[in-house]
C-alpha cells in the first residue's frame, strides 16, 4: 500500500504458504497474476475445505460446470459434523435451533437462489439451487423454505451434534450469572458464575464461500452458513442476500463474504468487490478495498469500532484474492487449479 497516511494497513497473513507474497512490514499481499482456469476456491482453509475443493475440482477437470463444482464442494463442507459454522453441526440460535442461510449464483444464466432460516436440512445450498432452477423466485425463508425442500425429497434431520449442543448449553449457562441455568448455586464453583461466554469455543461464527470458474469461462458461487451463533431466532445474515454475502458476474468474476453479516449487508460488499474488479482492480485489491470501505464508514460513527469481515474473490482469468479484518479470522483460502491445491495467505487489515 502506498498511501502511508491511511490509518489502517494491510499486512500479509501470518506464515507463508504457496501462493503467498510477503512484501515486508505492513503491506498488502501482492496481487497474484496470471491465473488459470478452471479453478475453484474456498475460504475454508481447513482439511474439509481442502477435501471439498480438490473433490469439486475433479468436476471442473472433466469439463463440468462451475455450478456443479461449487455445489459439490459446499455440500462436503455442509455435512462435516465437526464444522460448527456451516450446515450440520453448525451452532444454533439463542433457542438452540440451527437456522441455516445459503445462496447460489450462476453467472452463465444470470440466475440466483437462496434460503434463509432453513431448519433441519443438512445441505441448504442444494435447496438454494432448486429455488434458483425450479422457481421464478430468488429467496425462500423459514417454514416456506423447509416445505419447499421437503417437496423435493429432502429429509428433515436434527442438525445439532453433541459438540454444538455442548457449546450452546455452555453459552446458555454463562449468559447471565443471575439466571437459574447450570448447577444449583450452592454447588457452583466460584468461577462457574463468571466463566467467559465463549470459553473453549474455537469458532462461534463462520461461513463458507465456494467460487469457481470452469473451462468454458463460466463462473458460479455459493455462500453457506449457520450464521452468527446464538443469534436472535429469525435473524437473517448476509449469506443468503445476493450482492451481500455473494455475487457473481460472468463477465468479471465472483466474490463471497464471511463475518458480521450486518456490515456485509449494509455495504453490499460482494457486489462492491465485483464492481471493483470490473473497474480493473485485482481480486486481492478488490477484497481490501471492501474492508477499507467498511472501516472508513464506521470511522465517522465510532472510531473505536473495528468490524470483523473476511472476503474472497476470483476473476474470470482465474486470479484470486483474500483479505480479512484483524481479529476476525485467518486470511487463508484454498485454491485448486491445474497446478494443484495450494493455500493462499491473504492480507489482514490491522488497526
User: Which residues of the chain form contacts with ligand ASP (CB under 6 A)?
Assistant: 205-207, 225, 227-228, 237-239, 258-261
Measured from the CB of residue 205, what is the shortest distance to ligand ASP in angstroms?
A: 3
Return d(Cα 226, Cα 116) in angstroms, integer: 10
Specify the residue, 228 or 314, whose C-beta has the smaller distance to ligand ASP: 228
Measured from the CB of residue 173, what is the shortest distance to ligand ASP in angstroms?
A: 23
Q: Other C-beta atoms within 10 Å of 279: how many? A: 10
Question: b or e along 10-46 (b: 16 or more beta carbons within 10 Å of the residue's beta carbon)?
Answer: bbbbeeeeebbbeeeeebbbebbeebebbbbbbbbbb
The answer to whether 133 and 105 have CB atoms below 8 angstroms apart is: no
Measured from the CB of residue 189, what is the shortest distance to ligand ASP in angstroms?
A: 32
Question: b or e along 57-78 (b: 16 or more beta carbons within 10 Å of the residue's beta carbon)?
Answer: bebbeeebbbbbbbbbbbbbbb
Strand partners, 100: 118
Specify the residue, 32 or 224, whose C-beta has the smaller distance to ligand ASP: 224
Return d(Cα 238, Cα 66) in angstroms, integer: 22
Measured from the CB of residue 114, what is the shortest distance to ligand ASP in angstroms?
A: 13
Question: Grid coordinates representing 235?
Answer: 435473524
Per annotation, catalytic residue among 48, 207, 208, 225: 207
Specify the residue, 123 or 209, whose C-beta has the smaller distance to ligand ASP: 209
Strand order in the sheet with 253-259: 9-12, 347-350, 320-325, 309-315, 253-259, 246-249
Question: Grid coordinates representing 24?
Answer: 515486508
Question: Grid coordinates representing 72?
Answer: 459439490
Specify the residue, 226 or 282, whose C-beta has the smaller distance to ligand ASP: 226
Measured from the CB of residue 245, what is the shortest distance to ligand ASP in angstroms?
A: 6
Specify the residue, 12 or 225, whose C-beta has the smaller distance to ligand ASP: 225
Measured from the CB of residue 36, what is the shortest distance to ligand ASP in angstroms?
A: 29
Return d(Cα 315, Cα 46) in angstroms, integer: 23
Return d(Cα 136, Cα 28) in angstroms, integer: 42
User: 60: which DSSP letter?
Assistant: H
207 flagged as catalytic:
yes
Which backbone phi and psi does 174 adopt, to 5 degrees?
A: -100, 5
Question: Grid coordinates representing 205?
Answer: 461464527
Specify the residue, 203 or 278, whose C-beta has the smaller distance to ligand ASP: 203
User: 183: which DSSP letter?
Assistant: S
Catalytic residue set:
207
Amino acid at each position: 500500500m502506498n498511501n502511508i497516511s491511511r490509518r489502517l494497513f494491510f499486512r500479509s497473513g501470518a506464515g507463508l504458504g504457496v501462493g503467498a507474497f510477503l512484501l515486508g512490514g505492513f503491506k498488502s499481499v501482492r496481487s497474484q497474476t496470471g491465473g488459470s482456469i478452471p479453478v475453484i476456491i474456498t475460504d475454508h482453509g481447513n482439511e474439509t475445505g481442502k477435501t471439498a475443493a480438490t473433490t469439486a475440482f475433479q468436476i471442473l477437470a472433466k469439463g463440468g460446470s462451475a455450478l456443479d463444482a461449487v455445489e459439490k464442494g459446499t455440500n462436503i463442507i455442509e455435512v462435516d459434523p465437526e464444522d460448527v459454522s456451516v450446515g450440520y453441526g453448525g451452532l444454533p440460535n439463542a433457542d438452540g435451533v440451527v437456522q441455516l442461510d445459503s445462496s447460489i449464483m450462476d453467472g452463465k444464466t444470470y440466475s440466483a437462489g437462496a434460503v434463509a432460516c432453513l431448519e433441519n436440512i443438512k445441505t441448504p445450498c442444494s435447496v438454494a439451487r432448486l429455488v434458483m432452477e425450479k422457481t421464478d423466485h430468488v429467496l425462500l425463508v423459514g417454514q416456506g423454505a423447509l416445505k419447499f425442500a421437503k417437496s423435493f425429497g429432502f429429509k428433515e434431520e436434527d442438525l445439532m451434534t453433541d459438540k454444538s449442543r455442548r457449546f450452546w448449553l455452555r453459552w446458555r449457562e454463562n449468559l447471565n450469572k443471575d439466571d437459574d441455568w447450570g448447577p444449583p448455586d450452592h454447588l457452583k464453583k466460584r468461577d462457574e458464575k463468571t466463566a467467559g461466554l465463549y470459553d473453549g469455543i474455537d469458532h462461534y461464527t463462520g461461513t463458507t464461500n465456494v467460487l469457481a470458474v470452469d473451462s468454458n469461462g463460466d463462473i458460479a458461487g455459493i455462500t453457506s452458513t449457520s450464521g452468527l451463533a446464538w443469534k436472535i431466532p429469525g435473524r437473517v445474515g448476509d449469506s443468503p442476500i445476493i450482492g451481500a454475502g455473494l455475487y457473481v458476474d460472468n463477465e468479471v468474476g465472483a466474490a463471497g463474504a464471511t463475518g458480521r453479516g450486518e456490515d456485509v449487508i449494509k455495504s453490499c460488499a460482494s457486489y462492491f468487490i465485483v464492481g471493483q474488479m470490473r473497474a480493473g482492480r485485482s481480486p486481492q485489491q478488490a477484497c481490501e478495498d471492501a474492508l477499507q470501505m467498511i472501516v472508513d464508514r464506521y470511522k465517522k460513527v465510532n472510531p473505536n469500532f473495528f468490524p470483523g469481515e473476511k472476503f474472497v474473490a476470483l476473476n474470470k482469468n482465474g486470479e484470486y484474492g483474500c483479505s480479512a479484518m484483524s481479529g476476525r479470522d485467518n486470511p487463508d483460502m484454498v485454491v485448486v487449479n491445474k497446478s494443484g491445491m495450494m493455500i493462499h495467505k491473504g492480507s489482514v487489515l490491522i488497526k
